[in-house]
Amino acid sequence: MSILPVPSFLDDIKEKGLRKAVLEGIDETVTRLTAGMNIQDIREALRGDPPSRRPNPRLTPHADGFFLHIRPAYYNQAVTGIYPTFRMGWLSTYFFILEIITGIFLMVFYTPSPDVAYDNMMEILGNVPMGQFMRDLHRLGAEAMVLFVALHMLRTFVTGSYKRPRQFTWFTGMILLMITLFLSFTGYLLPWDQLAFWAVTIGTSMAEAAPPEVVGTNVNLLLRGAPDIGAGGLLRFYLLHVLLLPLLTIIFLFVHYYKVVLHGHSLPPKLEEVGQDTAKRVPVEKRVYFIPDVLTTELMWVAGVSFAMVMMVTWFYHAPLENHADPQVTPLHTVAPWYFLWLQGMLKFGDKVLMGVVLPTIIFGFLFVMPYLDVTKSRRYAHRRFALSTGALVVALLIVLTFTGTPYYGVEGSADQEVTESMIPWRKTRPATRHPL
Ligand code: HEM
């Protein structure tokens, strides 16, 4: 009979002895934590042995666990190599998680107020243990996330993986792309230095240009919290950056991942008949199980990329910080972050409303609905010459526009202005803002 009103661990000890009760208790806790795998199952998986009990315990975490619910239990061997995914989707997720970890660290030492934000940054760089390391990782991770999300998008376009039935996977991907860009943009303001202040002033003034005037003015007011960027704007950007946008990312990441489970990873185009989608039907001999094969490969990528990131920020990369933001001093050249330079480049070719608002809205709007408009069934490269050539042309155009977005193109200050600018010591810390003169 139980010595407590409910069955307890003490009863177990009484019945089985201390050693057995403790070992069984640990095993049961591990099984609960992994949603189905006990210590023996984990050991077998890590050794590469086949599972010793049936039904296969390595499938249970996918059915019963929350996190693995969004990962397929097995993959087709054809999609587990570098091609066709190039691991870009996984790397995008990796960088998002890196941003959360380093971001929480930075939040501890940062207050979103114009009075102290810049001082906090100096503190983080000079006084906080590992502060500069964490800031550099956060900044480099953010840039890498934008890069890998864009490359992942390019690869799903090239392999035609956006086509039926994966239109909505692409659609949620577009939402993730927009959120990623906004995450970066809102983070840009937080150091409250000249670079941040002016780049964001220009960015939000594009929102102000949105027609009709009543919309533009109010969107701008909503973003900045006042006609100009100040305490209200900083607080709003901070809250978007640390709360709303990460929350939305997590929600849409789950939807995006779940859609991949639902439809299966698209196979390399040449392995399927035109118009067919056999991703979900994986023959037994072609199955590569998530536990342990895909999981361990992914962990290996995490280790490799983390090592590369640590090397980068230790020796080669430091996040820039300019002088304290000063609304009275307009820098000679304000440069957008590299991933928005194409937009800044477009602004040099025409009207602010057309180039800064109308065209980008049309471009992104088109990208959202592209899979629904696509009429070619085939995913084969040879059948998609028009789409692939157009894609290549767009990438080339983006590169050219990115160049035109830099101060090297179409910006001529007077010679004395440029010389004085290049001689101001603090401008020298950031080569990208200097003119070739
Ligand atoms: C934070 C951003 C994103 C993350 C973390 C992410 C993650 C992933 C992952 C892990 C996969 C599984 C296949 C793979 O690894 O390549 C995937 C598939 C896919 N993603 Fe994304 N994605 C993101 C953004 C995007 C964007 C911007 C697009 C396109 C606009 C997109 C479109 C797709 C499509 C169409 C698939 C299905 C691919 C297939 O079945 O072969 N994703 N995504």
Could you tell me which residue, 3 or 411, shows the higher pLDDT?
A: 411
Name every residue whose Cβ is closer than 8 Å to that of residue 268 and which is 6 or more positions away in sequence. 78, 79, 83, 84, 159
Name every residue whose Cβ is closer than 8 Å to that of residue 23 and which is 6 or more positions away in sequence. none
Arithmetic mean of pLDDT, 104-132? 97
Residue 130, phi-psi category: left (phi > 0), alpha (psi -120 to 50), beta (remainder): left
Residue 417 pLDDT grade (very low, low, confident, very high; cuts 50, 70, 90):
low
Q: What domains are there in the chain, each with its CATH number? A: 9-65 (no CATH), 74-433 (1.20.810.10)
With a 6 Å cutoff on the Cβ, whether 379 touches ligand 1 is no
What single letter denotes the amino acid at residue 264? G
Q: What is the pLDDT of residues 133-192, one digit of tens each?
A: 999 999 999 999 999 999 999 999 999 999 999 999 999 999 999 999 999 999 999 999
Residue 310 pLDDT grade (very low, low, confident, very high; cuts 50, 70, 90):
very high
With a 6 Å cutoff on the Cβ, whether 338 touches ligand 1 is no
pTM for this one? 0.92
pLDDT of 200 higher than 80: yes
How far is ligand 1, taken at its centre, from the CA of residue 78, in Å? 17
Residue 90 CA: nearest ligand 1 atom is 10
pLDDT of 414 higher than 70: no
pLDDT of 84 higher than 80: yes
How far is ligand 1, taken at its centre, from the CA of residue 178, in Å? 13
Could you tell me which residue, 385 or 407, shows the higher pLDDT?
A: 385
What is the C-alpha separation between 173 and 257, in angstroms, rounded?
A: 10
Residue 162 CA: nearest ligand 1 atom is 35
Among the ranges given (36-40, 355-359, 405-409), the one the predictor scored with the smallest mean pLDDT = 405-409
Q: Atom 10 (ligand 1): residue with closest C-alpha? A: 89
Arithmetic mean of pLDDT, 302-317? 98
User: Tokens at residue 399, please?
Assistant: 């590169």
Q: What is the pLDDT of residue 423?
A: 65
How far is ligand 1, taken at its centre, from the CA of residue 106, in Å? 28
Residue 107 pLDDT grade (very low, low, confident, very high; cuts 50, 70, 90):
very high
- Cα–Cα distances in angstroms (integers) from residue 324 to residues 74, 109, 197, 338, 420, in the given order: 53, 18, 9, 22, 20
Q: Atom 17 (ligand 1): residue with closest C-alpha? A: 89
With a 6 Å cutoff on the Cβ, whether 162 touches ligand 1 is yes
Residue 420 pLDDT grade (very low, low, confident, very high; cuts 50, 70, 90):
low
Arithmetic mean of pLDDT, 283-310? 97
How far is ligand 1, taken at its centre, from the CA of residue 88, in Å? 8
Whole-number average pLDDT of the chain: 92
Residue 72 pLDDT grade (very low, low, confident, very high; cuts 50, 70, 90):
very high
pLDDT of 335 higher than 70: yes
Q: Atom 13 (ligand 1): residue with closest C-alpha? A: 89
With a 6 Å cutoff on the Cβ, whether 176 touches ligand 1 is yes
